Amino acid sequence: MEKLNQVYEGKAKKVFATDDPELFIVSYKDDATAFNGLKKGTISGKGVVNNKMSNYLMQILEKNGVPTHFVEELSDRETLVKKVSIVPLEVIIRNVSAGSFAKNYGVEEGITFPEPTIEFSYKNDDLGDPLINSYHAFALGLATKEEINTIKTMAFKVNDVLKEYFKNLGVKLIDFKLEFGRLSDGSIVLADEISPDTCRFWDINTNEKLDKDRFRRDLGGVEDAYNEMMKRVFGE
């Protein structure tokens, strides 16, 4: 597999073409941003943690019937993935109130919902990723109705699998963001990453935050939190 030119650089990852037109290589950086890029920093070792954790979780999801972009881990920071065109939706599942949910609706963080919620943001940095509903997504031509239904079903399935998986590691899965992509045949797969950048993880006993909120909120111990999650998933 030959790595060719860079085709995209995002806030946390670079994407490269390969000599196979159906495959890309993603390369995870240590760069961290928050609030639509307003806050910038570096989380040392984050790229390695996110690459390895995301790959591991995607393989668990594949085994549970969720198709993903994952093909093969190439190194600590690089992974071979199926080429997708990203559906420009951030799909957020919540089990417990936190973050923008708590802020927007005036409730405290930490309230467990009777059942998980789903919401969409329009992935558009210029607009600040505004919250939209599935009718808006269809009206804007971001996805077909069938794709939106597939995405909803897959997102709740991801939640069922990961909630149970993390519970066994002593971690509460509070909420998370997913992105989906279309393969060349039009089918929908889970893409992007699943990591402490894109999930809220709270220790089951102490409620200690083990995710990017430590960076967003200047809580300190950012690297320690990523390393702790790495340890819970992979052991020592």
Residue numbers 81-100 binding ligand TMP by CB under 6 A: 92, 98-100
Sketch the per residue contact string, 44 through 63, with ligand TMP: x for CB under 6 A, - otherwise: --------------------
Point out the residue whose Cβ comes nearest to ligand TMP: 99
Binds ligand TMP by CB under 6 A, chosen from 26, 43, 199, 229: 199
Check binding of 155 to ligand TMP (CB under 6 A): no
- Centroid of chain to Cα 77: 16
Contact pick of 52, 69, 172, 177 for ligand TMP (by CB under 6 A): 177
Report the residue number, 175 or 228, with the smaller CB distance to ligand TMP. 175
Total residues interacting with ligand TMP, rule: CB under 6 A? 11
- By C-beta, is 113 or 145 nearer to ligand TMP? 113
**Looking at 24, 28, 101, 180, which residue binds ligand TMP (CB under 6 A)?**
101
Q: Which residues bind ligand TMP (CB under 6 A)?
A: 92, 98-101, 175-177, 198-200
